[in-house]
Amino acid sequence: MSWLKRLFGIQKPQTAQVNPSQAQQPSTATQSIPPERMGLNGEYDQSGLAKRVALAFDQDPTLDDIETLYVAQAGSTVVLKGKVPDQQILNKMVSVARGVQGATGVETNQVTIG
């Protein structure tokens, strides 16, 4: 099962991107979408950053869906919770998460190793 399917109950949209450009806004819109709220297709999404991190994990062949780890967000901080097999996997996940537009930090204090 993919990260997106397990965490958010959605299949990967064909046009989904880890770092999408902002969707076209109506001409009356005066504000842009904050990077941490940008969804998989550039639309506003309250959990946009977490979904794009899950998509990034899905796209990395070295990061199989670890069913004991969850991805959330607190503002622009990616929050990883749960358990991973080893420190090397956690380091890779932190690196991938940091590469997602809008992520200003990655919190791992709720992750156990082993």
pTM of the model: 0.91
27 located within any domain:
no
Total domains in the chain come to 1
8 located within any domain:
yes
Both tokens assigned to 85: 């097999």
75 located within any domain:
yes
Name the nearest CA neighbour of 80 among 46, 63, 15.
63
41 located within any domain:
yes
Distance CA 51, CA 110 (A): 19
pLDDT in tens, 7-49: 999 998 888 999 998 765 554 454 689 999 999 999 999 999 9
What domain range is 58 assigned to? 3-20+34-113
